[in-house]
């Protein structure tokens, strides 16, 4: 089932609604196929609970949500790249491995960044 790319530029509520349906399906595929996402969501839920306990400020909540979103978006892109590489390069190829490793490295960078933000936010409250 191949869809035509609509370049006419005409606004259509039906096409916008379809876009949301496709995006929702993408989120479902992401959550269904990515165990690390569930770990990251669990950590975020724990951080939210801790944030409620320590009484985060408005700005701290924004930073916490942004950091969690940064990690989940990175993981989603990593998953999309892995799906594409598995399709386009089913046989082992060193460039395919490099592509997957770089994408996974991006998730690690995002996770380390989120950890630093979390330590800064919660360290401040715990000290």
Active site residues: 75
Kindly state whether residue 53 falls inside one of the protein's structural domains: yes
Rounded to two decimals, the pTM is 0.86
C-beta separation of 26 from 79 below 8 A: no
Give 22's pLDDT tier (boundaries 50, 70, 90).
very high
Assess if residue 12 is contained within a domain. no
Domain with residue 58: its CATH number is: 1.10.287.3610
The mean pLDDT of 60-80, rounded to a whole number, is 98
Domain that holds residue 74: 34-126
Share of the chain above pLDDT 90, in %: 88
Residue 28 lies in a domain: no
Instruction: Provide the domain count of the chain.
Output: 1
Q: Model confidence at 66, in pLDDT bands (50, 70, 90)?
A: very high
Q: Is residue 27 part of a domain?
A: no
Q: Is residue 6 part of a domain?
A: no
pLDDT band at 127 (very low <50, low <70, confident <90, very high): confident
Tell me the C-alpha distance between 50 and 44, whole Å.
Answer: 10
Identify whether 15 is part of a domain. Answer: no
The helix (run of H) or strand (run of E) holding residue 41 is: helix 35-54
Residue 60 has pLDDT above 90, yes or no: yes
For residue range 92-104, what is the model confidence (pLDDT) as tens digits?
A: 999 999 999 999 9
Q: Is residue 43 part of a domain?
A: yes
Whether residue 22 is contained in a domain is answered as no
> Residue 120: what pLDDT?
97
Give the Cα separation of 65 and 71 in Å (integer): 10
Asked if pLDDT for residue 10 goes beyond 90, the answer is: no
Quote the tokens at residue 91. 């046989």
Q: Give me the chain's average pLDDT, please.
A: 94
């Amino acid at each position: 089932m191949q869809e035509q790319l609509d370049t006419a530029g005409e606004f259509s509520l039906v096409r916008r609604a379809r876009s949301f349906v496709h995006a929702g399906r993408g989120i479902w595929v992401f959550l269904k196929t990515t165990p690390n996402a569930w770990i990251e969501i669990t950590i975020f839920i724990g951080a939210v609970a801790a944030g409620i306990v320590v009484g985060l400020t408005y700005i701290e909540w924004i930073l916490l949500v942004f950091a969690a979103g940064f990690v989940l978006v990175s993981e989603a892109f990593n998953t999309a790249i892995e799906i594409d590489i598995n399709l386009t390069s089913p046989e082992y190829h060193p460039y395919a491995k490099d592509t997957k490793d770089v994408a996974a490295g991006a998730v690690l960078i995002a996770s380390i960044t989120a950890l630093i933000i979390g330590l800064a936010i919660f360290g401040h409250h715990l000290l």
